[in-house]
C-alpha cells in the first residue's frame, strides 16, 4: 500500500513492515526513490530562477500562493545571480532559500522550475532534473520578439498588440520552446517600455499561476512555435540612441525615446561634441519665417514661448526641453550660450545632424524674436 496524505520534505515511500528491505539497502536507495515521487498535479516543489524587477512580480505571487496554502506551491526556493539584484533582495526579505549560480545538483528535490528574466542558458542535464520541466514567463507573443529585450522592441517598432507567453525551456537556445499558455495585451498609445513592462510583469505572474494549476493538461496541449513571424529582440545598446535626423520620422523618434529614454538618453552632436537630448515633448508645430524654404533635417529652432528646442527630422519637428553638454542646460540656456552665439559669429551651416549640431533655424528663431520685440 502507498501513503500520500501530504508530501513533506524528505518523505519517501512507506511500505508494510514485512515488505521492507534490509536497512542498508533502504538507505542506499532513499534518494533514488524520492526522485520518483514527483506528483502529476499540484502542489509543486518549485525552484525559481530570476534576477530583475520583472521577475520579482512572478516570485511575489508564487510566495503568496505558498503562504496562503492555495494548493499550488508546496515549497519554493530561488536561484539568482551575484550582486544585490531585486530577486535576491526579495528572497532574503521573505526568508526564501537562496541558491547561487551555477547551480549544484538538485536531483529529486523539485518537481518544476520557473525562469523569469534570468539571462543564462540552462543546459539539458539541468532541465532533466525537473520531472515536469522548466517554465519561462516571456513578455511577448512568441515567436515574435525572442531574446533579452522584447518589451523595448515592442515599443520601438510600434506594435499595437503584445502579450505574455508561458513556454517550456529547451536547451541551447533562448525562447524557442513549446508554448503552454498565452495572453494578449493591447499596447496603450504613448506608453513607455517601463510602463508596459510593469503591466506585463503582473499579467505574466497571474498567467504563470494559471498554468501551474493545470500544468499536466497544459503540457499535453502544448504547441511548437512557428518559424513564421519569428523576430529577435537584441539587448538595448548606446549605439541605438543616436538620432538620425535625415532618416527618422517624428513617430520613430517618439518611439525610440519611449523605448530607451529612461535608461539611455537620445544623442546627437554639437560642433564635434556629443549632446544628450533630454525631456522629449513630442511633435512640435513650427511657423517658419519663409514657408517656401524647407529646412534641412537636423535644423534647430528655439521656441521662446514654450522654452523648447525644436529639431527638424524627416517629416516634421520634435522638441526637447533640455540638453546635456558639459552640464545640463535648459533650452533657453543652450540657445543663449551656444545657438545664439554661433549665429552672431556667422558660423556656416544651420542644422542638427547625427554628427553635427548646425544652425539654420536658429536664424529663423532670431527673426521670430525680432518680430516679437
- pLDDT, one tens digit per residue, over 77-88 is 999 999 999 999
Predicted pLDDT at 38: 61
Q: Taking 90 as the threshold, does the pLDDT of residue 354 lie above it?
A: no
257 vs 372, more confident: 257
pTM, two decimals, is 0.82
As a whole number of angstroms, the distance between CA 116 and CA 137 comes to 5
Q: Residue 190 corresponds to which cell in the numbers above?
A: 504613448
What is Dmax (Cα atoms) for the chain?
Answer: 106
Q: Residue 360 above 90 pLDDT?
A: no
Q: What is the pLDDT of residue 21?
A: 39
In degrees rounded to 5, what are phi and psi of residue 88? -65, -45
Evaluate whether 110 touches 48 at the Cβ level (below 8 Å).
no
Asked whether residue 353 carries a pLDDT value surpassing 80, the answer given is: no
Q: Is the pLDDT of residue 262 over 50?
A: yes
Please state the φ and ψ torsions of residue 281, each to the nearest 5 degrees: -115, 5
Q: How far apart are CA 260 and CA 235, in angstroms?
A: 11
Residue 15's pLDDT is what? 37
pLDDT (average), residues 175-203 = 97
- Could you tell me the pLDDT band of residue 37, with boundaries at 50, 70 and 90? low
> What's the confidence (pLDDT) of residue 237?
96
Average pLDDT over residues 127-148: 97
Q: What domains lie within the chain, and their CATH numbers?
A: 44-221 (3.40.50.170), 238-353 (3.10.25.10)
Mean pLDDT of 69-94: 95
How many other CB atoms are found less than 10 A from the CB of residue 312?
Answer: 26
Residue 332 confidence (pLDDT) above 80: yes
> Within 10 Å of residue 216's Cβ, how many Cβ atoms?
12
Asked if the model's pLDDT at residue 40 lies above 90, the reply is: no
> Quick one: pLDDT at residue 291?
67
* For residue 228, pLDDT beyond 90: yes
Question: What is the structure's pLDDT at 342?
Answer: 59
Average pLDDT, the chain: 84
pLDDT higher than 90, residue 132: yes
Residue with the bigger pLDDT between 203 and 2: it is 203
Please tell me the distance from the alpha carbon of residue 297 to that of residue 246, in angstroms, as a whole number.
5
pLDDT band at 369 (very low <50, low <70, confident <90, very high): very low
pLDDT of residue 290: 64
The pLDDT tens digits for 277-302 are 999 999 998 877 666 678 889 888 89
Average pLDDT over residues 216-225: 96
Amino acid at each position: 500500500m502507498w501513503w500520500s496524505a501530504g508530501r513533506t520534505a524528505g518523505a519517501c515511500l512507506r511500505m508494510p513492515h514485512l515488505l521492507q528491505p534490509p536497512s542498508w539497502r533502504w538507505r542506499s536507495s532513499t534518494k533514488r526513490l524520492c526522485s520518483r515521487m514527483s506528483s502529476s498535479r499540484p502542489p509543486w516543489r518549485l525552484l525559481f530562477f530570476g534576477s530583475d524587477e520583472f521577475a520579482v512580480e512572478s516570485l511575489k505571487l508564487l510566495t503568496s500562493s505558498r503562504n496562503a496554502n492555495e494548493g499550488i506551491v508546496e515549497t519554493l526556493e530561488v536561484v539568482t545571480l551575484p550582486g544585490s539584484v531585486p530577486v535576491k533582495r526579495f528572497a532574503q526579505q521573505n526568508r526564501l532559500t537562496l541558491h547561487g549560480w551555477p547551480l549544484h545538483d538538485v536531483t529529486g528535490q523539485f518537481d518544476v522550475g520557473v525562469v523569469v528574466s534570468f539571462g543564462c542558458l540552462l543546459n539539458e542535464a539541468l532541465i532533466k532534473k525537473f520531472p515536469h520541466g522548466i517554465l519561462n514567463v516571456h513578455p511577448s507573443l512568441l515567436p515574435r520578439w525572442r531574446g533579452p529585450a522584447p518589451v523595448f522592441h515592442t515599443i520601438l517598432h510600434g506594435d499595437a498588440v503584445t502579450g505574455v507567453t508561458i513556454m517550456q525551456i529547451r536547451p541551447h537556445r533562448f525562447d524557442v520552446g513549446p508554448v503552454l499558455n498565452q495572453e494578449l495585451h493591447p499596447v496603450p498609445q504613448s506608453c513607455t517600455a517601463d510602463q508596459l513592462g510593469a503591466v506585463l510583469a503582473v499579467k505574466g505572474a497571474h498567467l504563470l499561476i494559471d498554468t501551474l494549476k493545470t500544468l499536466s493538461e497544459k503540457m499535453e496541449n502544448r504547441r511548437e512555435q512557428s518559424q513564421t513571424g519569428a523576430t529577435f529582440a537584441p539587448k538595448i545598446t548606446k549605439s541605438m540612441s543616436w538620432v538620425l535626423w535625415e532618416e527618422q520620422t517624428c513617430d520613430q523618434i517618439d518611439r525610440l525615446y519611449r523605448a530607451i529614454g529612461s535608461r539611455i538618453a537620445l544623442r546627437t552632436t554639437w560642433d564635434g561634441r556629443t549632446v544628450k537630448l533630454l525631456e522629449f515633448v513630442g511633435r512640435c508645430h513650427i511657423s517658419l519665417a519663409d514657408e517656401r524654404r524647407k529646412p534641412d533635417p537636423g535644423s534647430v529652432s528655439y521656441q521662446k514661448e514654450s522654452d523648447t528646442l525644436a529639431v527638424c527630422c524627416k517629416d516634421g519637428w520634435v522638441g526637447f526641453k533640455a540638453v546635456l553638454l558639459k552640464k545640463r542646460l535648459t533650452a533657453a540656456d543652450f540657445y543663449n550660450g551656444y545657438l545664439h552665439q554661433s549665429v552672431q559669429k556667422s558660423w556656416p551651416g544651420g542644422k542638427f545632424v547625427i554628427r553635427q549640431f548646425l544652425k539654420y533655424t536658429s536664424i529663423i528663431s532670431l527673426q521670430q524674436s525680432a518680430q516679437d520685440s
